[in-house]
A = this chain, B = another copy of it.
Amino acid sequence: MDILTDLRIRAAEPTDGATLWALLEPVFRAGETYAIDPAISRDDALAWWAGGTHDAFIAARDGVALGSYYICPNQQGGGAHVCNCGFVTAAQAQGQGVARAMLLHALEEARARGYLAMQFNCVVESNTRAVKLWQAHGFAVAGRLPGAFRHPQKGFIDALVMYRKL
Contact = CB atoms under 8 A, between A and B. Distances in A.
A35 B78 contact: yes
B36 A122 contact: no
Contacts of A116: 147, 156
A145 interface: yes
A145 B163 contact: yes
Contact of A145 (B28, B142, B147, B159): B142
The number of times this chain is found in the oligomer is: 2
Contacts of A31: 77-78
Nearest to A164: B146
A105 interface: no
Among the interface residues A34, A79, A80, A144, which one has the most CB atoms of the partner chain B within 10 A? Answer: A79
A148 interface: yes
Interface in A22-36: 28, 31-32, 34-36
A143 interface: yes
Interface string A121-164: 11010000000000000000011111111111000100101010
